[in-house]
Amino acid sequence: MRKHKVLYLLMLPGILYYVIFKYVPMYGIIIAFQNFSIGRGITGSKFVGFKHFVDFFYNTPDAWKLIRNTILLNVYDLLFRFPVPILLALLFHEIRNRAFKGFVQSVSYMPHFLSTVVIAGIMVTFLSQQTGIINHMLGWFGIEPILFLGLPEWFRTIYVGSEIWQTAGWGTILYLAAIAGVDPTLYEAAKIDGANRFQQMRHVTLVGMYPVMIVLFVLTLGHFMETGFQKIILLYNPMTYETADVLNTFVYRRGILSADFSFATAVGLFQAAIGFLLVVTANRIVRKYSESSLW
């Protein structure tokens, strides 16, 4: 028994971390139902029920815009970014020269190591209307300079594009690991059955990646409501709020910048609840139809 005591003691700092920085904030969600003031604290503040939620849905003109932007940005992300590492892994796998393969892979991982601030900085400088290289290049074809970061219709493209650039290569790692685990006799069998390279790619390699695809898909859905808002904070501005402002950035402005704690917590709770429901539902569906799932 004394042996156990040491083990529990070892875990203590970690458990305290979870309690203080994860579970106390969950308890703090109560303030979404209060008119919280720092002076009175959670125990002293007055309960107002669902007032802040009603305020958000009925009295915030931007509410639907925020929900729409959050969903659209994530749908585009899923639609355009999710398949890229899969395709890339298929193509990497088909490179025959080992050295060249290693080189291409290494280079493709690199953007993953740049910070969000640096990526946003690159986007801002490259897309600048007067001085950016992109507009200079467009000028060669006689296209007038475009104020990319000031036009709402460009925001989603810029955001998803930079995400693809940053994550495509790194995302192939797990798929390549899955491909490496494919039984080589399956390729032999496919060849004997007369499958050409594309048929092997389609029916052996791709099928070998399914389990990883499913797990990553559920994970992506798990973060569905919160994707990349740190980058959005760096890239958006009032001119592009129309398409760029999402629930998280709104929570940041109302909560941190305007100290409107209860209201911002209510909006954040709404978002977290949807995210939670999505991942639980997705996992349930996936578990029903396939063997791999998150839990």
Partner 1 sequence: MKIKSSLGSKVFDVLNTVFMLLLVVIMVYPLVYVFSASISDNAMVVSGQVVLWPKSINLEAYNRLVVNPDIWISYWNTIRYTVVQTFFSLLVTGCMAYPLAKSWLPGRKWILLMAAFTLLFSGGMIPTFLVVQHLGLLNSIWAIVLPSLVSTWYLFIMRTFFAALPAELEDAATIDGCGSLQVFLRIVLPLSVPVLVSIGLFTAVNQWNSFFDALIYLNDRSLYPLQIVIRNIIISSSNVQGEGNTSYIETLKYAMIMIATVPILCVYPFVQKYFVQGAMIGGIKG
Contact 66, 73 (CB under 8 A): no
The residue (of 65 and 191) whose beta carbon lies closer to partner 1 is 191
Find the binder of partner 1 among 46, 49, 96, 144 (CB under 8 A).
96
Which residues are registered as beta bridge partners of 46?
Answer: 35
Contact 152, 264 (CB under 8 A): no
Q: What distance in Å separates the CA atoms of residue 156 and residue 229, rounded to the nearest whole number? A: 12
Find the binder of partner 1 among 72, 75, 117, 147 (CB under 8 A).
117
- Name the burial class of residue 86, with classes exposed (0-12), middle (13-18) and buried (19+) by CB atoms within 10 angstroms of its CB: middle
Find the binder of partner 1 among 47, 58, 113, 141 (CB under 8 A).
113
Find the binder of partner 1 among 120, 158, 214, 221 (CB under 8 A).
120
User: How many beta carbons lie within 10 A of that of residue 244, not counting itself?
Assistant: 23
Q: What distance in Å separates the CA atoms of residue 230 and residue 162, rounded to the nearest whole number? A: 13
Restricting to residues 263-282, which ones interact with partner 1 according to CB under 8 A?
264-265, 268-269, 271-272, 275-276, 279-280
Query: Comparing C-alpha atoms, which of 39, 8, 41 is closest to residue 27?
Result: 41
Find the binder of partner 1 among 78, 146, 173, 182 (CB under 8 A).
173
Which residues are registered as beta bridge partners of 55?
Answer: none
Contacts of 30 (CB under 8 A, 6+ apart): 42
Residue 239 found at the interface with partner 1 (CB under 8 A): no
Block residue for tokens 């953007």:
111
Restricting to residues 47-86, which ones interact with partner 1 according to CB under 8 A?
none
Q: What distance in Å separates the CA atoms of residue 111 and residue 103, rounded to the nearest whole number? A: 14
Residue 35 found at the interface with partner 1 (CB under 8 A): no
Find the binder of partner 1 among 71, 78, 122, 182 (CB under 8 A).
122
Residue 27 found at the interface with partner 1 (CB under 8 A): yes
The residue (of 189 and 256) whose beta carbon lies closer to partner 1 is 256
Largest CA distance in the chain: 80
The residue (of 204 and 279) whose beta carbon lies closer to partner 1 is 279
Find the binder of partner 1 among 148, 159, 224, 261 (CB under 8 A).
261
The residue (of 108 and 243) whose beta carbon lies closer to partner 1 is 108
Restricting to residues 152-171, which ones interact with partner 1 according to CB under 8 A?
165, 169-170
Which residues are registered as beta bridge partners of 34?
Answer: 47
The residue (of 73 and 266) whose beta carbon lies closer to partner 1 is 266
Name the segment binding partner 1 (CB under 8 A); options: 2-10, 48-56, 61-69, 182-190: 2-10
Q: What distance in Å separates the CA atoms of residue 222 and residue 117, rounded to the nearest whole number? A: 24
The least distance separating partner 1 from the CB of residue 291, rounded to whole angstroms, comes to: 13
Query: Comparing C-alpha atoms, which of 197, 12, 152, 171 is closest to residue 89?
Result: 171
Residue 45 found at the interface with partner 1 (CB under 8 A): no
Residue 143 found at the interface with partner 1 (CB under 8 A): no
